[in-house]
Structure 1
Amino acid sequence: MRKLRHDEIPRLAPDELAAVPRHPVVAVLDDIRSLYNVGAIFRTSDAARIEKLYLTGITPTPEHPGMHKTALGAQDLVPWERHRDPLPLVDRLRAAGYTLAVLEITDTPSHIADLDASHFPLCLIVGNEVHGVRDALVARADVALEIPQYGAKQSLNVAVAYGVAVFGLVERCRSLQGLPPHPDEPARLPDRMDA
């Protein structure tokens, strides 16, 4: 075993990325206050090759130069939109066929492994670092995804929790489609999970 050099790591070039289907997951980042968390989420979203990020509430946008320290260019690779109010946005996403999933601790938790093909395409909603996902979004959700935690603390940093969840969702999506979890094979994703 040896560590690969940067030029040996198989990755898509930015111009190739536009021609490759994205995984059928979008995310709503609502009221996330930290530039660093949002930048890290952009970088993770590029690595997971999800469809789009929606920045709502007070969530900062990539125009802020401070975000570039953690996004490291991913802000130019991941499609994103700005919406002040997340409620009409998630209603439109549901009407477009997305399952609404909050990443939150609730009284009816689900796990990513429990999702089936009918849950995709999926909209993952993450919330504020202190208050979590706002109640009005929890009330609209179809499912609440919870990350099992085995220590004393009750939550993870939002960018860390997002990373765990989005990679779990991509792995689950690929598994349901019979695609390998590793991107070595350039398999084509269907436009919809039921295709």
Structure 2
Amino acid sequence: MNRKLENSELERLDVEGFKAAEKSPIIVVLDNIRSLNNIGSVFRTADAFLVEKIYLCGITATPPHKDIRKTALGATESVDWEYRKDTLELVQDLKRNGIKTIAVEQAENATQLHDFAINPKETVALIFGNEVKGVDQEVVSACDQVLEIPQFGTKHSLNISVSAGIVVWDVWSKWKALK
């Protein structure tokens, strides 16, 4: 029989331990995300995989907010974040600082997630877009690469928080395997 573990048995970091821990070379950029629950869910994913930082851009709401807090469950306290008004300017700044910028979008010449290879010494910024419009075309055009999650059903897209969970886990697991 498999017994579920109690939270006290999970040996999770506290906020101070998280802040001191080695981070994965992943930055998450949220480009005009409307849903506060999606924002909070992305914070939890970022916490789970020791993401270096989250940038909240455009209309994306910022902590503290009760609806973000409801799904983040404290991750807004552990994960570093910053608000930037203009996503395109942020992408240009990240590139100037040697960070590889990757839009997660359906686009011509996109790399399928399962074909995506990482350089474990390179920090990547994963840009996730608005629930309806996706990543702004100007931002997609400015990025170094576009990454697409393959889908095989009838729907055109996945929820932003689901997409972030899939992509961050995939990049983290590839980084961890090469580290």
TM-score by length of 1: 0.87
1:19-52 Cα deviation digits (max 9, x unpaired): 2110011011010001000011111110111000
Which residue number in structure 2 is paired with residue 27 of structure 1? 28
Which residue number in structure 2 is paired with residue 122 of structure 1? 124
Query: What fraction of aligned residue pairs are identical, expressed as a percent?
Result: 41
Q: Which runs of 5+ in 2 are unaligned?
A: none
Which residue number in structure 2 is paired with residue 169 of structure 1? 171
Which residue number in structure 1 is paired with residue 155 of structure 2? 153
Matches within 5 A, 1:67-146: 67-112=68-113, 113-117=115-119, 120-146=122-148
Maintained 8 Å contact 1:102/1:133: yes
Maintained 8 Å contact 2:54/2:82: yes
Q: Which runs of 5+ in 1 are unaligned?
A: 178-195
Maintained 8 Å contact 1:99/1:119: no
The worse-fitting range, judged by mean Cα deviation, of 13-22 and 124-133 is 13-22
CA distance in 2, matches of 1:63, 1:9: 27
Q: Stretches of 4+ moved more than 6 A in 1?
A: none
Q: What is the deviation of 1:118? A: 7.0
- Residue 59 of structure 2 aligns to a residue in which SS? coil
Distance change (3 Å), C-alpha of 1:114 and 1:66: closer
Q: What is the deviation of 1:119? A: 7.9
Question: Cα RMSD over matched residues?
Answer: 1.3
Aligned residues: 177
CA distance in 2, matches of 1:81, 1:62: 10
Q: What is the deviation of 1:116? A: 2.9
1:116-140 Cα deviation digits (max 9, x unpaired): 3178210000110000000000101
Maintained 8 Å contact 1:55/1:61: yes
Matches within 5 A, 1:46-57: 46-57=47-58
- Residue 98 of structure 2 aligns to a residue in which SS? coil
Distance change (3 Å), C-alpha of 1:161 and 1:119: farther
